[in-house]
Amino acid sequence: MDAAVNALIGIGLLLILILVIYLIDKVNAIEKETRQVMTSITDKAARAADPFKGLSSKALWDTMTGIGRSDLDANAMAELRNLYQLVLSKHIEALYQEGFKDGLRGLEGEPKNTKQIATSKGVVESWMPAPQANALYQCGVNASQNPEPEWGPFRQSMDEAGHFLLTKTQLDATHLLSDWLMPAPALAVGDPASLPAGAMSDLPGMSNAWTETAANKPF
């Protein structure tokens, strides 16, 4: 009789132990799922607050060219591409200006293909392929060291680099970069009042800078 009671007690304790282990495991699983959900919510909130969706440099370029992140919906991609349009235009302009100023000083180097770009939405690092970065920089150098009537080949080089960058990132490539940064003499004269806001007066031949306003978007 005592043996049977002890056996029942032992079985009962074993069942209680199994139940406790099960409950502890269940609680741990619930805590893990809760942490994952909270992390996901936090990440989504952070991406929503970040207009660049947590992307920068080559990762941003790759996403714009269709080989990067695929978790962004159509609306998010449209917003990002609209903002990237400004980022790329500022990067292009900065490389040309850098080359122009270096050329005036008799300097010539190999520019970096990354640059910190400031916008009203925040600062982001922009990246572009080195050949196009070098081409845009060299256009500035050449423009500073040659008279405007001889800019034809430099404009062509700029337009080729611009066409590659714009088509690669799926932006509007119908407008030539040279019409903006290296306008022909006939296009550079006229009523100053007709030029968009932000006209560049410090560098010869530069007609106007694309601004963040919808009216002056570059592409």
% pLDDT > 70, the chain = 79
Average pLDDT over residues 22-45: 76
Of 6-10, 38-42, 74-78, which one has max mean pLDDT?
A: 74-78
- Share the mean pLDDT of the chain: 81
pLDDT for position 188: 47
Does the pLDDT of residue 93 top 70, yes or no? yes
In tens, the pLDDT along 164-208 reads: 999 999 999 999 999 999 987 755 444 433 333 333 434 544 444
% pLDDT > 90, the chain = 50
Dihedral sign (CA 54, 60, 64, 66): negative
pLDDT for position 16: 85
Per-residue b or e along 14-23, where b marks 16 or more CB atoms closer than 10 Å to that residue's CB:
eeeeeeeeee
**Under 8 Å between Cβ of 116 and 219:** no
pLDDT for position 202: 47
- State the pTM of this model: 0.66
pLDDT for position 201: 39
In tens, the pLDDT along 100-111 reads: 999 999 988 889
